[in-house]
Amino acid sequence: MPEIFEIEGGQKLSGEIEVNGAKNSALKILAASLLSDEKCKITNFPFIEDTKRIMEIMEELGVRVEKNEELKEVEIDPSGIKGTSLTGELVRKLRASILLAGPLLARFGEVEIDHPGGCVIGKRPIDFFVDGFKKLGASCEENDQSVKIVSGNNGLVGEEIIFPKISVTGTESLMMTAVLAKGKTILKNCAMEPEIPVLVEYLNKCGAKISGAGTSTIIIDGVGKISGGEFEVIPDRIETGTFLMMGLVTDSEITIKKCIPEHLGSVLEILKGAGAKFEIGTDYIRTISGSKLEATSIATHEYPGFATDLQPPYTLLMTQAKGMCMVHETIFDGRLFFVDQLSTMGANIVICDPHRVIVIGPAKLFGKKLSSPDLRAGITMLIAGMIAEGKTIIENIYQIDRGYEKIEERLAKIGAKIKRVRN
C-alpha cells in the first residue's frame, strides 16, 4: 500500500537536529568496495532507500552485506561475487546503479548494465561513462535495453580523458575504474564536489595512487590490486542546506548539528546576501528568527557554486522573500517543473523556459494535495506544507525516503507535525 505524508502547516520549529551521513558519499563507497576482494566497513552510514536498494543489487551479485542500522554501520564482503550482470527492474529504477559498472569492469573485465532511470531527473544519459570506458580500451555493445562492456585483451589501459561537461558520478566512476588499469590515467574537467576527495582518501589508504582530487585534474597511477578498509561517511551537505532553508522559511530557531558548513560552498554567502540570519560554527549552523529576506537571483553551478540539489528548497524560500528574482537551473532539465505544484499552493512563480523561473514574493501558501516527482522537489514540498495554512498531503513519498532517513520522526522532534499514513 502506498504511503503518504500529511502535514499540518503553521508550526514554529525549535531545538536541535543532526545531519546524517551523505547519500552521495555512501553510494560511492559502496561502489568502491567492489574494487577489492577484501572487506570494507562503512560507519555513519545513512539507511535510506537509495543505499538500501544499491546494497540489494550488490547482494544479487554475490556480495555479502552485514547491516547494523542502530550503529549506522555496514560491512561489505565482496569476495564472493559470482556475476557482473547489472540487469533487472531494480537497476533500471535507480540511476545510481551505474556507479557499480566501473568497479566491476575494472575488477572482472566485463559488465552488462541495463539503462538506468529512476525519477524525473534520473533518466539522463550515460555517454560519459561509456565513452570513458572505451577510452580505457574497453569495447561496448549497446542496444535499447542495456550496454555490455568488455575490457580489451590487454585489460584496461590508462589514457587522458577530458569530460565534455562536468559530471560528479562520471568523474568518480572513471577514477575508480582507472585505479586497476595499467599505467597512468589523466582525467580533466573533473567535478570537485567534497565527496570526491574523501573517496580518494579511502582508495589511497587501500593502496590506490590518485592525486589531484578536489581540483579539475585528477591523475591515477594504476595499481594491480587494492585492499579493503574503513570509511566514515561525511555529513550530508544537501541535508544540511535543506534544514538551513527549512529553519529560515519557517522563521524558526533551530541548530543543525554534525555538519560541515564549508561544504555548502557559495550557498551560505548567497543566503547571507539575501538577508538570512544564521550563525555558523565549525560543525553546526543555527538559524535565527526575524530574517528580512530580499528576493535574490541564483544560477545553479557545479561545486563550489550553488548546488542544484539545493535549488528546490531555495526556490521555496524565495516565495517568502520580498521582491522578484530569477532561479536558473543550469544542471538538470526538468528540475524546475515541481514549481507548478508550489503555484497551486499560492506561490507566485512564472516558468520562463525549462531552465528558468521568476519567483515573486512574499506569497501566502495554502495546504494542497501534491505528488513528489523527485527527491529534492519532494522534501521541498514537505517544507512548503510546513509553512502553508491547513493540511498538505504528499504522495509518492518513496522519492523523499530515497534520501532522507525517517524524516517525519526527526522533524517531529523539532516541532513539525507530519504523519506517515498508509493510503
Q: How far is the CB of 132 from ligand EPU (least distance, A)?
A: 9
DSSP notation for 203-248: HHHTT-EEE-BTBSEEEEE--S----EEEEPPB-HHHHHHHHHHHH
Query: Looking at 70, 125, 282, 423, which residue binds ligand EPU (CB under 6 A)?
Result: 125
Q: Provide the minimum distance between the beta carbon of 152 and ligand EPU in the complex, in angstroms, as a whole number.
A: 21
Verify binding: residue 52, ligand EPU, rule CB under 6 A. no
How far, in Å, CA of 170 to CA of 24, rounded? 13
Q: Phi and psi at residue 366, in whole multiples of 5°?
A: -125, 145
Beta carbons of 391 and 417 less than 8 angstroms apart: no
Q: Least CB distance from residue 251 to ligand EPU, whole Å?
A: 26
Cell of 113: 548494465
Question: End-to-end distance of the chain based on CA atoms, in angstroms?
Answer: 6
Q: Is residue 169 near ligand EPU by the rule CB under 6 A? A: yes
Instruction: Return the range that interacts with ligand EPU (CB under 6 A); candidates 20-28, 180-188, 255-263, 278-286.
Output: 20-28
Determine the Cα–Cα distance for residues 175 and 21; give it in Å rounded to an integer: 22
- From the list 371, 374, 382, the residue with the least C-alpha distance to 403 is 374
Amino acid at 143: N
Site membership for ligand EPU, residue 406 (CB under 6 A): no
Q: Strands, DSSP E only, in 59-136?
A: 64-68, 73-77, 85-86, 110-114
Does position 173 interact with ligand EPU (CB under 6 A)? The reply is no
372 binds ligand EPU, rule: CB under 6 A? no
- Is 259 designated active site? no
For ligand EPU, give the closer residue by CB, 339 or 365: 339
Query: Any contact of residue 237 with ligand EPU (CB under 6 A)?
Result: no
Asked if 308 touches ligand EPU (CB under 6 A), the answer is yes
143 three-state secondary structure: coil
Site string (312-341) toward ligand EPU, x via CB under 6 A: -------------------xx---------
Kindly name the residue from 119, 190, 206, 259 that is annotated as catalytic.
119
Closer of 94 and 388 to ligand EPU (Cβ): 94
Catalytic residues: 119
Q: Under the rule (CB under 6 A), what is the footprint of ligand EPU?
A: 23-24, 27, 96, 124-129, 165, 167-170, 308-309, 331-332, 375-376, 403
